Amino acid sequence: MGQIEQGLERALRTRPIPSSTEARLRFLLARNRGSTRKVATVLGVSQRTVQRWVSKRAEARRPPGPLQVRAIEEAVLARWQPRVRARRRAQAEADGFVFHTRARFGFAAPAGSSDDPRVRWITQDLPGEVARELFAARDAGAGEQQQTVILARALGHAYFREWGRRAHGLHVAFSDVEFADFSIG
């Protein structure tokens, strides 16, 4: 998961996901009304394995392996705050969002301009059309590169060309994203 994807995930949540594997398992159990069978089905393991993971007896408890820890994390992320996520996404698509980033920006511009790439901190308000395009690309399975292209085009228009008032013909190169965060509403 790249910086942009992580930033979008953080923006859609109002509370952090449980940090420990035990807390994540408790969440999955609570979400499935305590059924270890349903949790096992979600994670692709046996019911007995889930029972060992959550056993109250220390001698019977077995920690999940790295692959299972990743599966638990993905299951929690997919089920964490679904209504909040939907509401915040709709708000971003309607009203836009503020994009905060530290990345390398370069330009393809007419002769005589300074087009050398350099690292910049940028905070820019972007419209709902960009949010819709970004979420649609993410839903279609677009990778970090495609999301970067969408944001480069939006930042080029909003920040560098000031919504079309200057620097006509300037094309922005957006790379080496060190930090990407989104503020919704």
pLDDT at 158: 87
pLDDT per position as a tens digit, 121-177: 999 999 999 999 999 999 999 888 999 999 988 988 888 777 777 767 677 778 788
Whole-angstrom distance, CA of residue 18 vs CA of residue 14: 13
pLDDT, tens digit, 9 for 90 and up, residues 26-46: 999 999 999 999 999 999 999
Q: List, as one string, the DSSP characters of 39-51.
A: HHHHHTS-HHHHH
Task: Tell me the C-alpha distance between 90 and 112, whole Å.
Answer: 43
* 96 Rama sector, left if φ>0, alpha if ψ -120 to 50, beta otherwise: left
pLDDT of residue 111: 62
Does the pLDDT of residue 1 top 90, yes or no?
A: no
Mean pLDDT (whole number) for 44-64: 89
Q: What is the pLDDT of residues 61-104, one digit of tens each?
A: 888 999 999 999 999 999 999 999 999 999 999 999 999 999 88
